[in-house]
Structure 1
Amino acid sequence: MSATPAEPAPRQHWEQLVRFRGESDWPEGSKVEITDGTIVVTPPQAVPHHRIAARVQRSLYTVLPEEWGVYQTLGVAHPSRGRLYIPDLVVIPDAVVDELDGGDPAPLTAAELVVEVTSPCNASYDRIDKAAAYAQAGVPLYVLIDRFAPAGPTVTLHGEPKDEVYQELQRVKFGEDVRLPAPFGLTLDTGVFPLGA
């Protein structure tokens, strides 16, 4: 997958966007992110979406170093690219989170793993925009759980970001295993993922 580098967001514009995002009254349960200097609002997710995230989170905790955490609602930012995301799951060192002030986002560059679960309204956003953004930030691994892939539900493991582009390390259909490399050394059983909308 290739990506076109985004122009850096001017500092003042970035601060205005972050302030507007934090002070505005968004629909309850929605996810409010910033991508390439634009605010993107995603409606609340369906139960199958949350069940998949919970199953992956439970599995991750069996292999994580004690000093790392798995977060479902933590904002991660890459200000120089004008991006602030709230991944479905992000693995990040606790020391990074402990340094945050209030509701500040963590630096995306500190993430060890990001997991996104697609929804009908954001599937292409997760497949293209976020994959490019996570690679550009140097996140070592990105797991895309694509319930709405054109050929049927799939899980794609992206890794080895080089020149701001990921390599596709593995792609499986729901029901097959995905093996996360070190430092995780975890096999995810995708057969337990619900298929419902």
Structure 2
Amino acid sequence: MTAPRRRADAAENRERIIEAARAVVAGADEVRLNEIAKRAGVGQGTLYRHFPTREHLLAEVYRQDVDELVTAAPKLLAEHDPLTALTRWLARVADYAQVKRGVLAAVEAGVRRDLSAHSQGPIGDALATLLDAGKADGTVRQDVDARDVILLLGYLTRLEDGEWDGRARHLLTVILEGVRSRG
């Protein structure tokens, strides 16, 4: 086997591990590395070569989700009107928030602070981009800013696991209706 093929295999394994971890975090009460390795179709040694600790793996899941959320904003604006882009972005926020809850519950306080610090600025900037586009075309209220919406989104973390499916997207709809311009 040549070196480039091994690197491609390693990259594929890494991505499968991250996707499996995301699924476990979003749907399980406890994050077990052996379950993640099994779902990813890799051995424990492969998992630990990529992520020496559970915190390393969960931090990467979190960072990737933040990055995907941030890069989605301009892409959505390029494809949709501002209010539709904001609506679709908020739908992604629900998925992100569910994973975020699981990650933050599974890591230690120091890691939790570092991860939160990593996400606040970029997500706020992405949200501001969407809100500003909506303000420019008159579909978003002029008196709403990214901090307002982020504070409201914070309430997603207070949902109990059993009410997530029934309430998370409903709350996002309430937020969206609150930022919509009535004029």
- Fold in common (TM above 0.5): no
- Compare the two structures and name the one with the higher helix fraction: 2
| Structure number with bigger Rg | 2
TM-score normalised over the length of structure 1: 0.28
Higher-strand-fraction structure: 1
Higher relative contact order (CA 8 A, sep 6+): 2
